[in-house]
Structures are given as structure tokens and as C-alpha cells.
Chain A
């Protein structure tokens, strides 16, 4: 709770000084409309920044190319807005322009977000802030999981869930350029798919993946994640709360179960 308060104060201070905000999600010109028939439309200009931290032992000569590709695909997949029906949230009072926390309601939501995506390389840990999104590039990942068919699977990338740090093995990323996007979409709240009838989906994570489709539902879920607390839409500007990114990345990398191999000298 304290972190959230500090983050809010920092955000307002930066806005007052007209400073560019750091952070995973920065949104401006936010507004909401209610059509009175159970549909809310959300508007805003969003900037999403994913910081790429190269932790490989021998360097990653193709990193720029992979980052450019990743930036383009993320932009493309999030473009075009989204729609989610059956969203249960607090009731919106359009006269008072705020959500009434004593009542709940089921809405359909239209997301009309203009989204700019930045994928930038950082070289030092000090360039990573608490509310950043991060993709750490490592030498290899030893973590194995069992799929729903009972088969053991190795890992090309590993992410710690909603808002969490993502990692990708550099050699595997070179083999499949979409791995960076796949991992980042875990950060934006999507789950892996193992249903063999959905091999053409980007989030299908088994070896016989045959496509990169993101469904409308998945895009709606990611846009929903960008405005995790819908009450924030009633502010004019917004930056995501503190995710404790540095601490969580350190814990994630040091967890021996995950089996990361990387240049520890770069992580300081």
C-alpha cells in the first residue's frame, strides 16, 4: 500500500514538472464514456516500455534486430482496440464521474487505446525502475515443465506471471523471433495454451507451434491488464504501480529451480 502511494506521488510530481515518466505503462488523455445501456468506452494514449537487459556471457550481436522485431509485433498485436463483455466491476456513476465501490455491475467494455510500444536496451541494473517491464536475455534456462499430455518440456523463455519479469534464452530467441513477444504477453497477463487444436496461436507454447495468432479475447485481456484498476481511468493520467521489478528479477534469476545460466557480473 505504501509503495502504491509513493508511486502515485512520484507520478504526480513528474507530471507537474512535465517530465517524461518512466515505467511499464504510462497513459495520458484518459477518459471514459457510459452509453447508459451497460457499455463503457475507455479512451487514452498509452506508452508501453519493455526494457531488455542483456545478461549473456558472450554478448548478443543480433539483439537489436530481435528487439526491433519484438517491438513491431507487440505494436501490431495490440493495435485496433478491444472489446470485452461480461466484465464485472464497480458501478460507474457518469454524473459523479467515478466508480461506486458499494455497487457492482456487469458491463461490456470497449477499449479505444492508442498504444505506442518502446523496446529499449539497458546495460545496467540502475536503469531498471520499480514499475518497469523487463525482459532479461540469458544464456540458457534449465527449467522443465510437464505439459498436459504428461511430456517433459524444456524452456526457451520463462516469465513470472502478471506484471512479472520475463526472460528468454538468447540462442532460442534467435531460432524463434516470437519468443520475446510470447514472454512479454505473459507479463501482460496471458496464459500458455497447450490445446493441440490451437497450434496456430502465439501463446501455444509446445514445440509444434504453427502460428502467431492472438485472439480477440486475448487482446481484450491484455488491454484489460493495461488498465488493471479500471478506477484509474477517471484520472487524466496514469502510470502503473510499483511492481518491485528489480527485486523480483533478482529473486527470479537466483531461484535455482529455474536453472538460469547468465553472466552474473552483468547483474549488479
Chain B
């Protein structure tokens, strides 16, 4: 009787240890996944992409109304857009195809931006509407 109780206890302990180890393994995988995400936002780099694409030549970046006197959406107007709409507007529809591989502005190479660069550009545009100041140290 006593030996059966001991066997049962040891068996239960073994099962518990097994599941405990499996859970710990899952947590480790998550930690590895997080630490390999290297996409970081650098305002200067995002600004350079914006400059190279020439966004501010048409979407005037002065802090004025959302639509300028020519009827074009200003940079502030872009910043007011929902992020997903902005991605669709800028990077999916690609300005009526101008920025696509066969478009008239194919040299701007919008198609070659990585997902991380696109995220950076979107954040740069959204931050413009948040009036985040730039500081000298």
C-alpha cells in the first residue's frame, strides 16, 4: 500500500516536471524572438528617406492647413491620416503608379524600401502632426 502511494507520488512528480520543462522552453523561444527584432526608429534616417523621395516638394511641410491653396494635401494633412490609410496611400497605391517599377518616378525606388524603413517613414510623418520638438543638447 505504502509502496503504491510512493509510486503514485513519484509518477505525479515526473509528469509535473515534464510539463514544467516544456513551459520553460516556450518562454525561452519568446525571449529569442524579441531580441532579434532589429527594426529601430532613427528620426534622421527616416527624414533622409522623406527627402530623397521628395515627399515635401508636393506635400508642403509648413505647419499650415491640411490642404494647401493648390488643393494638395500638406504634410500636416498626411500626418492626420490613419497609419494604415497612409501606408495604403503612399506605398500601396503608390501615387497613381508614379512610384511603381514602371512608373514615371521609378527612379525614386519606393518599391525598394524595407518594411522597417516604411515603418520609420510612417512614424516620421505621424510625429510631424504630434508637434514633437527637436532639441539641441
Contacts and interface: CB of A to CB of B under 8 A. Distances in A.
B18 to A, nearest CB: 40
A164 B137 contact: no
B98 A206 contact: no
B108 interface: yes
Given A86-B54, A228-B60, A194 B136 contact: no
B68 A4 contact: yes
Contacts, number: 129
Contact of B104 (A105, A205, A241, A248): A105
A16 interface: no
A60 interface: no
B70 A231 contact: yes
Interface string B17-60: 00000000000000000000000101110010001111011101
B63 A248 contact: yes
B64 interface: yes
A20 interface: no
Contact of A86 (B58, B67, B107): B107
Given A88-B105, A193-B44, A195-B44, A159 B68 contact: no
A206 B54 contact: no
Contacts of B44: 191-195
Interface residues of B, number: 36
B15 interface: no
Contact of A163 (B42, B54, B62): B62
Given A148-B42, A228-B61, A229-B60, A1 B134 contact: no
A158 B64 CA distance: 20
B51 A221 contact: yes
A242 B64 CA distance: 8
A51 interface: no
A179 interface: yes
A191 B56 CA distance: 14
A158 B134 contact: yes
A196 B58 CA distance: 32
A5 interface: yes
Nearest to A99: B70
Contacts of B107: 86, 106
B58 to A, nearest CB: 7
Interface in B57-84: 57-58, 60-65, 67-70, 75
Given A3-B64, A243-B62, A207 B134 contact: no
Contact of A161 (B54, B108, B134): B134
Contact of B64 (A104, A191, A217, A241): A241
A160 interface: yes
A162 interface: yes
Contacts of A186: 134
Nearest to B124: A191
A104 B98 contact: yes
A182 B136 contact: yes
Interface of B: 40, 42-44, 47, 51-54, 56-58, 60-65, 67-70, 75, 98, 104-105, 107-108, 128, 131-137
Given A161-B61, A161-B63, 10 more contacts: A4-B69, A104-B98, A106-B108, A143-B135, A157-B136, A160-B133, A189-B56, A191-B134, A192-B135, A228-B60
The 3 closest A-B pairs by CB, nearest first: A88-B54, A155-B135, A157-B136
19 contacts: A86-B52, A86-B54, A87-B57, A88-B54, A104-B104, A106-B108, A143-B135, A153-B137, A155-B135, A156-B135, A159-B134, A161-B132, A162-B75, A163-B61, A183-B136, A228-B62, A229-B60, A230-B57, A258-B133
